[in-house]
Structure 1
Amino acid sequence: MMVFLTAKMMQRTALFVTVGGLVTSLITTFLPHWKTMNSDLNEVENWFSGLWHTCLYTEEVGIQCKAYDSIMGLPMDLQISRVLMSVSIGTGASAVLAAFPGLEGVEMCMEPPGLKRRLLIFSGVLSWVSGLTTLAPVSVVAYTTVVDFWDEGFPDVMPRWEYGEAMFSGWFGGLALVIGGTLFFVAVCMGDYDRQTSSVPNSPQVKQKTQHYLKTEVL
């Protein structure tokens, strides 16, 4: 197993996780299922609310969506969420674009020395920013939903907004982006360690590593 745990494989794993988190965050941004609501008085109607529009689902008509009439009329949490999710998509895409030429085996950005390392560090920072700007708006909307749900000022017969599926996909995408950024830093540390040990040919680490590879080839 240690043969496959290399800096090159860690870089590709970090890129794969980051791309997965970016795609999930992108889908979450445009899903209308951030919040859902159904009424006990009319169980055939289900309301859905997202960052860009609201939707009504009925068995007779199906789903009908309508964009918000005015940005200024939106609640503050949705306005902030729009901005942060847009920042998340931009920084996540930039992290992927910066990481690709920084991968080992990709014949790009070979000069000056150390440029690939700096690109991977930059990608890790951008991936962290993207993950945090995904987790923040989802958590804010979740908090306001809980506060409104337990608000005693609303009548008991009045329907309340509840969590939608997009909330959970947003948390998953944000965590994936944070993990991807962390793996980029791990890959950089592994690459630094490999270069440090390879610069000392007679070091015990190099001898042990060489013996391990020879043993693996014999098996």
Structure 2
Amino acid sequence: MDPGLGTLELLGVFFSLVACLCSLVTLMIPQWLTLSTELLPTESFQLGLWEACVVQDLGMTECLPYNTLLGLPSDIRLARILMCTAVATGLIGLLFAIPGINLVNSCRRTESFKAKRTLKMLGGIFSIVAGVLGLVPVSYVAHLTVLRFFDESVPSVVPRWEFGDALFLGWTAGFLHLVAGFLLVTSCLFMQDETCSLHQSIALYRAQMTRPERSPRGRTEYV
């Protein structure tokens, strides 16, 4: 097996694992949006998908989960659905990709290379889908935040929400999912070419082994 192909597989699985962890952290932490006011300089507010928090300068944090689902803003509800779907899709893609890499001792026969290639291809496709699903809610919330921040109808003295750490972490997770999917799909294409070459080599070897040879006795008859 080509060492470069194994490197692509390992990088794809590694980036997919890191992306799943980043997506899960993005889903859980409450730092999607942050707000600080001049009236209360010792406190800042954080808004997440599941709870809102008040952070004090002394290090104390008090969080309150949302009590209602229907009363939430539409962007929060949409982000919940898409982020949960992105995390689930990324985990499924990772479960598909791990048995498909060459280091895993499964489907080692030549006839089973197609199964490993299919698993790895599915892992790459699921990873790409997870990246898109993760980038959409993060970018949508960021877009609405920018529009509200520069809204001229709101007085300048009114505090505005700003980007939180979860948005940047979500962008990182989506990008890593896309990179992981691209690496896994690319390794599948190289694996397909290598498998075709392997089948041709085996067929040529079998043809050489089955080629009839003249026995020495048959040769001496013509002398």
Normalised by the length of structure 2, the TM-score is 0.84
Paired residue secondary structure (1:114): helix
The structural deviation recorded for 1:194 is 2.0
Name the amino acid aligned to 2:33.
K
The structural deviation recorded for 1:109 is 4.1
Instruction: Judge which range, 99-108 or 183-192, deviates more.
Output: 99-108
**What is the number of equivalent residue pairs in this alignment?**
199
Q: How does 1:103-142 map to 2 (within 5 A)?
A: 103-110=101-108, 112-142=112-142
Paired residue secondary structure (2:105): coil
Q: Structure 2 regions of 5+ residues with no counterpart? A: 202-223
Question: In structure 2, how many angstroms separate the alpha carbons of the residues matched to 1:16 and 1:164?
Answer: 26
Question: In structure 1, how many angstroms separate the alpha carbons of the residues matched to 2:124 and 2:59?
Answer: 46
Task: Check the 8 A contact 2:113/2:195 in 1, yes or no.
Answer: no
Task: Check the 8 A contact 2:20/2:90 in 1, yes or no.
Answer: yes
- How far does the alpha carbon of each residue in 1:71-117 deviate from its partner, in whole angstroms, 9 at most, with x for none? 11111111000000000110100011111111113222456451111
Name the amino acid aligned to 2:132.
L
Question: In structure 2, how many angstroms separate the alpha carbons of the residues matched to 1:193 and 1:114?
Answer: 12
Question: In structure 1, how many angstroms separate the alpha carbons of the residues matched to 2:74 and 2:107?
Answer: 43
Instruction: Judge which range, 84-93 or 151-160, deviates more.
Output: 151-160
In percent, how many aligned pairs have the same letter?
Answer: 32
Q: Structure 1 regions of 5+ residues with no counterpart? A: 202-219
Question: In structure 2, how many angstroms separate the alpha carbons of the residues matched to 1:56 and 1:155?
Answer: 24
Query: Match for residue 62 of structure 1?
Result: 60
The structural deviation recorded for 1:6 is 2.2
The structural deviation recorded for 1:12 is 1.2
Query: Match for residue 165 of structure 2?
Result: 165
Alignment RMSD: 1.8
Question: In structure 2, how many angstroms separate the alpha carbons of the residues matched to 1:38 and 1:25?
Answer: 26
The structural deviation recorded for 1:196 is 3.2
Query: Match for residue 146 of structure 1?
Result: 146
Question: In structure 2, how many angstroms separate the alpha carbons of the residues matched to 1:116 and 1:144?
Answer: 43
Query: Match for residue 43 of structure 1?
Result: 41
Paired residue secondary structure (2:144): helix
